[in-house]
Amino acid sequence: MLIIGEKMPNSFHSAIWLLAIGMSLVNIALAQNQQPCNSKATITDFAWFAGHWTADQNGSHIDEYWSAPMGGVLPGMIRAGSPEKTTFLEFFTVRETPDGIDLSVRHFSADLTPAEKDKALVFRLKCISREAITFENTGEGQPRVLLMERPGPGTFRARNEIVTKDGTVRKIDITFIRINH
């Protein structure tokens, strides 16, 4: 059960966005009847995300906004909370690098105090197909894997996979609905 609140550890704030951006993928990309996955992509492969997406999860509301790609970068942001309080903000970029596509994420409080003190969480594109995208965390922190599934033009599902100290994988899923382009 996902509960968004101000006393949540930073790793769960990170997990929520990554869900939000967003983005349900590793096992999904390998499922039956789906295109084979590959790790080659350009920023235009992510253009379908552009627009306003929304989700409601366990009493919390999430708004996710993606800009159109330009100059090798697709920026976006997430706002999570309730009508009474913003729990956190997340800013992210999907960008082309010499090594491939990276997703960088930073989380902030409503007054823009950063949750990640030193640097952004960075995820490397592992697999992309027409139906799914998988990113893997390249450093410390959680989640370790971000998965995004596109079941239709107006919906995407995001999964954060958090690995606990004992090696157990906790999966947090959020389904987003497109509000507009």
CATH number at residue 123: 2.40.128.20
**Does the pLDDT of residue 1 top 70, yes or no?**
no
Q: What does the pLDDT average to over 52-79?
A: 94
62 is a domain residue: yes
For residue range 79-109, what is the model confidence (pLDDT) as tens digits? 999 989 999 999 999 999 999 999 999 999 9
Confidence of residue 143 (pLDDT cuts 50, 70, 90): confident
**Does the pLDDT of residue 6 top 70, yes or no?**
no
For residue range 151-176, what is the model confidence (pLDDT) as tens digits? 888 999 999 898 888 888 999 999 99
Amino acid at 158: A
- How high is the pLDDT of residue 96? 95
1 is a domain residue: no
Higher per-residue confidence, 86 vs 6:
86
Domain count, the chain: 1
The CA-atom distances, in angstroms, between 148 and each of 20, 52, 82, 85, 142 are 10, 16, 24, 27, 16
4 is a domain residue: no
Q: Are 127 and 29 in contact, with CB atoms under 8 Å apart?
A: yes
- How high is the pLDDT of residue 58? 83
For residue range 8-60, what is the model confidence (pLDDT) as tens digits? 455 545 544 444 443 333 333 334 344 567 778 999 999 999 999 999 988 89
Amino acid at 21: I
2 is a domain residue: no
Give the residue from 134, 113, 112, 111 showing the smallest Cα distance to 124. Answer: 134
Q: Are 16 and 173 in contact, with CB atoms under 8 Å apart?
A: no
65 is a domain residue: yes
Residue recorded with tokens 């995407």 = 156
170 is a domain residue: yes
- How high is the pLDDT of residue 180? 79
5 is a domain residue: no
Give the residue from 17, 100, 127 showing the smallest Cα distance to 66. Answer: 17
For residue range 112-142, what is the model confidence (pLDDT) as tens digits? 999 998 899 999 999 998 889 999 998 877 8
Determine the Cα–Cα distance for residues 28 and 36; give it in Å rounded to an integer: 11
Domain, as residue range, for 87? 10-180
- How high is the pLDDT of residue 9? 54
